[in-house]
Amino acid sequence: MPTDTRLARALPWLTAAVILAYSLFFTWHGLETYFDNDDMMNLYQAWRRPWLEVFQAIPIFWSDFYRPLGALFYRGIFAAFGFNPLPFRIACTLLITANLGLFCWLARLLLPTGRAVALAALFFAFHSRVMEIWFRTATVYDILCFSFFYLAVCLYIQVRRDGRMPGVARSVAILCCAVLALDSKEMAVALPVVLGAWELLFRGIEWRRWWLVGVLALMNIPFIAGKQSLPAVYKPEYSWLRFTTNWAGYWNHLILGTDGITPAMVPVILAALLLVAAALRSRLMVWTWTIVVVSMLPVIFVDQRGAYVLYLATAGLAIYAATLLDLLQNRIVAFRPAWRLPFACAVFVIVGWRYGKATLHDQRIDRTKNWLYESPRQVRALADSLRKLQPTVKSGARILIVEDPFLDTEWTPTFVAALVYGDPSIWVDRPKKMPAPPKDWITYDLVLTWQDGAYRRLKP
């Protein structure tokens, strides 16, 4: 089809609208999600830190301050809007939508055709196993890390693909993005490896042009050294068993399976993806394979998390899959150039239909999703009850909750009470966390209990 026709000019905009609508169809309910236990911990820890300490930790990215850019996110929105989850959800939704646009920019820099960009964006727009990115504020660390990680990648590749080196302003911008990505989540240490792999694959070994990649790599040294005080739950276990077991779990998420992928199959899958890329002589597929493997290294050796940790990796997987489909389309229509655009539209519709149907079916399998909604229900029940049963308390008040639905290892009730009343000196006791239940309630200003699915006030 001639490129100057009205349909050809409108098709990219129509495609973008379809992809955005597709993404919002699956994700708009994320605006309704309440705070969960992790949010309470993150928000409380950020709220208790002085503003100056939060701002100072951002340029000092190697300090032991826990993810300072995420802390600034929590601290700033709470200061502006108080204990209200909606502004947090709106901010996350805007960031995720911006990340979709950022991904499209990355795909446009790398992929040769608009149809490949459209397919990549479709794959990236939503994945049901990664839905915590769209439904949980606690994943804001991954969201922010993605934003600055891939912004740095785009700024770098945009000039390097033409053989030029970034100027002073762009170099400073890339370094700032790297710092902010490191301030968001530890997975950002993969950035110099990803850029270094791009140099090797697309520009060759020109060592005098590697200075910026070298600076980014050197930045990782103090960062890694400064994060050695992480809690034990984040400590890595460097073993082949941990690597294959975790990857098996994540591959099962990616294919919307349960346990079909076993640890023994992991090296076969990774090797097969690399061999396909090599057989097709696609440097881009090799590079995106590198993104998938390297971006997961910071988390693949720790206890397995939800599939939201695949957020960075899904960008590489989406471009890999789109490149493969684009190459296949080229071979199919090689002798019928006139079929190129209609065939591309047909492939886009079929892929979108099948992929969307699989994703929607996967979401509907677990209709209750207790793993996603139970924690927000618990937090909301306590916050609403505190506001209703005791709108105000004195500074430094002591609260006793005789029974509650929270686990005995959680500090969430203390966090909720302090944040609802805006007083960090408020303390909550729970018999299930105490060596022995209190003998009387004299020292407590408020006593609650959980009974028949609701909180009831016992004192005053």
DSSP state of 444: -
> Which has more confidence, 7 or 451?
451
Tokens found for residue 125 = 């727009």
DSSP state of 394: -
Taking residues 96-108, what's their average pLDDT? 97
Taking residues 103-117, what's their average pLDDT? 94
On the 0-12 / 13-18 / 19+ scale of CB atoms within 10 A, 280 is: middle
Q: Tell which residue, 106, 73, 98, has the closest CA to residue 184.
A: 73
DSSP state of 309: G
Q: What does the pLDDT read at residue 340? A: 82
Q: Tell which residue, 77, 78, 59, has the closest CA to residue 68.
A: 59
Q: What does the pLDDT read at residue 422? A: 94
Instruction: Give, in order, the Cα–Cα distances in Å from 176 to each of 95, 132, 154, 172.
Output: 18, 27, 14, 6
Q: What does the pLDDT read at residue 4? A: 59
Taking residues 144-152, what's their average pLDDT? 98
DSSP track, 173-236: HHHHHHHHHHHH-GGGGGHHHHHHHHIIIII---GGG-HHHHHHHHHHHHHHHHTTT--GGG--
Instruction: Give, in order, the Cα–Cα distances in Å from 116 to each of 21, 157, 217, 278, 430.
Output: 19, 18, 31, 19, 56
pTM of structure:
0.93
Taking residues 313-337, what's their average pLDDT? 91
Indicate whether 114 pLDDT > 50: yes
Q: What does the pLDDT read at residue 205? A: 80
Q: Tell which residue, 272, 298, 268, 297, has the closest CA to residue 285.
A: 272
> What pLDDT digit, counting tens, does each position of 377-407 carry?
999 999 999 999 999 999 999 999 999 999 9
> What pLDDT digit, counting tens, does each position of 247-281 carry?
999 999 999 988 899 999 999 999 999 999 999 99
Cα end-to-end span (Å), the chain: 77
Q: How confident is the model at residue 6 (pLDDT cuts 50, 70, 90)?
A: confident
> Which has more confidence, 312 or 229?
312
Indicate whether 92 pLDDT > 60: yes
Q: Tell which residue, 125, 153, 166, 152, has the closest CA to residue 20.
A: 125
**How many Cβ atoms are within 10 Å of 79's Cβ, its own excluded?**
10
> What pLDDT digit, counting tens, does each position of 162-186 carry?
889 999 999 999 999 999 999 999 9
> Which has more confidence, 355 or 237?
355
Q: What does the pLDDT read at residue 204? A: 82
DSSP track, 348-380: HHHHHHHHHHHHHHHHHHSSS-HHHHHHHHHHH
CA 408 remoteness from chain centre: 28
Backbone angles phi, psi at 377, to 5 degrees: -65, -40
Indicate whether 5 pLDDT > 90: no
Indicate whether 1 pLDDT > 60: no
Indicate whether 122 pLDDT > 60: yes
Q: What does the pLDDT read at residue 406? A: 94
Indicate whether 356 pLDDT > 60: yes
* Beta-bridge partners for 446: 399
Taking residues 333-359, what's their average pLDDT? 88
Indicate whether 2 pLDDT > 60: no
Taking residues 294-299, what's their average pLDDT? 94
CA 364 remoteness from chain centre: 22
Segments making up each domain of the chain, as ranges? 6-233+339-364, 370-459
Mean model confidence pLDDT for the chain: 92
Indicate whether 210 pLDDT > 50: yes
